Amino acid sequence: MKRLFFLLLVLMLVILLLACEQHTPAPSPTITSAPSSTPEPEKIFLSDLNPVSAEVEHAYLGRGIVPWSEEPALMEGAPIVSGGTTYEHGLFAHAPSTLVYDLSGRYSLLHTSMLVHSGANCGDGAIFHILVDGAERFASPVLDWESLPVTAEVNLTGAHQLTLLADMSGDAGCDWAIWGDPYLLPAGEATLAAYIPPTATIPPTATPQSILTYLADLTPYSSYSNSPIEVGVFPVTRSDLGLTAGQPLAWHGWEFPHGMLVGPDTTLTYDIADQNFFRFHADVTRIFSDAGCGDGVDLVLLGDMREIARLHLPQNSEAVLPLDADVNHVRMLTLLVEPIDNYDCDELILGDPILYAYADPADAPALQPTRVPAAHPSEPIPEKMVWAYYYGWYQPLSPWMWWDDPRWIDYPQGRYNSMDVEVIHQQIQQAKSAGIDGFVVLWLGIEDPGDSRQIQLLLDAAEQEDFKIIVSFEWPKGIPETTSSLHYLLVNFAEHPAYMHVDGRPAVFLYANSQLGPVSVWQGVFDDLQALGLDAFYIGESFSLSDLAVFDGLYQYIPESSSIYSGFGERFAAYLQAQSGGQKLWVATALPGFDNTPNVTVGWGTYMFIDPRGGEYYRQSLQAALDSGAPWILITSWNEYTENTEIEPSENLGTLRLDITRELILPWKDE
């Protein structure tokens, strides 16, 4: 029995061991975690906090909803929706309004957008101010119901009180001020300088790791300033402010070892193409606000000559304000310092400007073209087209081309700003009324952002007015600069619907092309551009038929004489027949007279005078051009007041020259 019991016990132990072995869990697989991304900091929306005080002139503060309103475009209690965007955490506070929040040092950053409700359809706008512990940190330009939202980020480290103020720019009618989803980051959390929220084109689960580059470490592609620029130090001595040249760049307790002091005449352009930059940030302050002079200044950021950010610093501003912009796919980054009125005491500290780049180029969002290039089939050159040379340089930023200059002999009727869109439309309408089909527009290249921005405005207005634009690239300064400028022109201007195409290619006038060298040099430039897939119909300033071996057309800015056209059409046709080349063009130019006294006064050029004889010289010059048989007529100029060749209505001549243009052009077109 004992042996049987022992055998049974052994058998039970074996069965138990086998059962345990069957239930032993398999080894756990090795889990490889994905690289951790920077977590998004906690956001505390102001709509979830109670303000210490809230003074709202009309109705009351609306948190995420529209407060009481008598306006039919707004419904009490409805969500805040403006311009197609819903502001779930927005603050609706009709101007004038003041909102005060207690911070008690608990927060590191404020982020907010600002706008006036798009449904207002009236009113003169509001100005938004952000104050930290009573000191202004941000002031917006005037925003009305048609303005795009403006975004601000303000450092709150150690701050105790935040004030959001929406002020009237005139009266209070329709100033429906909205703070768009303002939020705070807690103290100790990553500030926005270290955390870049994902954009719509970046997966929301990951934040791109970034590489930081100080702008001061890049060499400007071009720069213009009347004062020296140095990095991290004051470049000049200002005894009235206790500043010494070479002293570290610091102001009101802020230090800027990578910053620059820039004056109101400064333009800095950087080639940042193919460097994967996606964000620009700088802290900006006026240093001479303590000096009691100056009238304020704007810092403008351009991406490929289009405005992408603007920061206004008023006369009494002592705040250090942030300037941020999206620079994804920007090729040329330009900083402009624009004075409000005069140039006195408007220096800025551009504080440690930084460009953020994707560490992995694969994180960069795909380039989304803003305009699909249209197909331009090869067609016969259109005939009986009339063009006028146009100058868009009459801007406050260009003091040597502004109407308070005493050297002018004549002025336009209404001394305009060339950046005024209403003025541009009026000029186009006046030109069209006289039979002019388009403007040939001066452009000095990518180093001149003022003219580039004006051309963009001109193209947009021309599209609306069924008018055409051709760019005249002027005064080439070297082969690399010329190639880069033409590349920019063909990529950024030439595919606009209002840009003129000839023989399937964008037309480009080349003024003073001999400054670059013989036509063989130009052939090399054109070959380099064609290798990049860029081609154009180039019209050179020459009447040498042999130059047609390289250029597609010929013209003269100032005709040697009216007799130059006698028989030229026949010689042109005979040359083409002998060469069997493609389509070619010649342009006959009309001139109303010439007097460059304003230029000679300041040392520009050699004095030249052609007596306009009232309007008789222009009448004869224009008639000779019309009789020449040239397919195109060019009038020099629409508005070149430094040489007094203008035909637009002026103070001294009235509409005389425009009337002569209309009198001769319209019947010629009807022939």
CA distance 33 to 514: 64
Q: pLDDT value at position 450?
A: 63
Nearest to 154 by CA among 189, 108, 198: 108
Residue 495 pLDDT greater than 50, yes or no: yes
Residue 235 pLDDT greater than 90, yes or no: no
382 residue type, one letter: P
pLDDT confidence bin for 80, thresholds 50/70/90: confident
367 versus 236: which is more confidently predicted?
A: 236
SS3 453: helix
CA distance 620 to 592: 9
Instruction: Identify the H or E element spanning 462.
Output: helix 449-465
Task: For residues 45-65, give the mean pLDDT.
Answer: 82
Task: For residues 214-233, give the mean pLDDT.
Answer: 83
For the packed helices 479-492 and 519-531, what is the interaxial angle rounded to 10 degrees?
50
Q: pLDDT value at position 193?
A: 34
Q: How far is CA 23 from CA 15, 20, 484, in A?
A: 13, 5, 74
In this structure, the dihedral spanned by the alpha carbons of residues 468, 474, 480 and 486, taken in order and rounded to 10 degrees, is 0
Q: pLDDT value at position 156?
A: 86
Q: Which of 61-75, 223-237, 487-501 has the lowest mean pLDDT?
A: 61-75
Q: Which residues pair with 298 in a beta bridge?
A: 312, 338
**pLDDT tens digits for range 238-275:** 777 778 889 898 876 778 899 998 887 688 888 888 88
Residue 208 pLDDT greater than 80, yes or no: no
CA distance 257 to 245: 15
Task: For residues 347-353, give the mean pLDDT.
Answer: 86
Mean residue pLDDT across the chain: 80
Are 430 and 381 in contact by the 8 Å Cβ rule? The answer is no
Residue 650 pLDDT greater than 70, yes or no: yes
* Reported pTM: 0.58
Residue 65 pLDDT greater than 90, yes or no: no
Nearest to 445 by CA among 381, 525, 343: 525
Sign of the dihedral through C-alpha 412, 413, 415, 416: negative
Could you tell me which residues come within 8 angstroms of residue 271 by beta carbon, excluding any fewer than 6 positions away? 221, 331, 332
Q: C-alpha angle with apex 317: 316 to 320, nearest 5 degrees?
A: 165
Q: pLDDT value at position 496?
A: 92
Q: pLDDT value at position 377?
A: 61
Q: pLDDT value at position 617?
A: 95
Q: Which of 161-165, 169-173, 571-575, 657-661 has the lowest mean pLDDT?
A: 169-173
Q: Which of 55-59, 235-239, 614-618 has the lowest mean pLDDT?
A: 55-59
473 versus 478: which is more confidently predicted?
A: 473
151 versus 100: which is more confidently predicted?
A: 100
What does the block give as tokens for 176?
């429906």
Q: pLDDT value at position 498?
A: 97
Q: pLDDT value at position 199?
A: 30
Are 602 and 399 in contact by the 8 Å Cβ rule? The answer is no
Sign of the dihedral through C-alpha 564, 566, 569, 572: negative
Q: pLDDT value at position 194?
A: 31
Q: Which residues pair with 261 in a beta bridge?
A: 349
**pLDDT tens digits for range 371-421:** 334 445 667 889 999 999 999 988 765 555 667 777 788 999 988 989 889
Domains and CATH numbers, the chain: 44-186 (2.60.120.1060), 210-363 (2.60.120.1060), 385-670 (3.20.20.80)
R_g of the chain, CA atoms, integer Å? 33
What does the block give as tokens for 483?
């190639």
In this structure, the dihedral spanned by the alpha carbons of residues 411, 414, 415 and 416, taken in order and rounded to 10 degrees, is -130
CA distance 4 to 281: 89
Residue with tokens 């005060």: 100
Q: pLDDT value at position 664?
A: 98
Residue 7 pLDDT greater than 60, yes or no: no
CA distance 387 to 383: 12
Top mean pLDDT of 34-38, 70-74, 328-332, 416-420 is at 416-420
CA distance 235 to 254: 17
**pLDDT tens digits for range 147-170:** 778 877 788 888 899 999 998 877
Q: How far is CA 610 from CA 178, 542, 560, 597, 648, in A?
A: 59, 21, 11, 12, 18
pLDDT confidence bin for 8, thresholds 50/70/90: very low
